[in-house]
Amino acid sequence: MKNYYLVDEKRKTPVSTWEKISQALRRSVKLELFVGLFVMMRELLKRNNSATIKYPFEKVKL
């Protein structure tokens, strides 16, 4: 049988509901989320970059 050990023994587990919610929010809402949203909004709001508007004018020879 393997010997297991705790990685972080000093970390306390959340007991109340509010502690569980705040821990989940801290873990899920990070800077990467807002960077991704910024990149998506930047690409969405760029002018003259829509593929669906340019589509009828593109002709491919078969």
Give CA angle at 26 (24, 32), nearest 5°.
Answer: 115
CA 52 to chain centre: 26
Q: Are 25 and 19 a contacting pair, CB within 8 Å?
A: no
CA-CA distance, 2 to 33, in Å (whole number)?
A: 38
Spell out the domain ranges in the chain.
30-62
Q: What is the tens place of the pLDDT at every residue in 17-60?
A: 999 999 888 888 888 888 999 999 998 888 777 666 666 666 77
pLDDT the model gives residue 54: 62
Q: What is the tens place of the pLDDT at every residue in 5-21?
A: 877 777 788 889 999 99
Give the pair of three-digit tokens for residue 62. 């078969």
For the whole prediction, is pTM greater than 0.85?
Answer: no
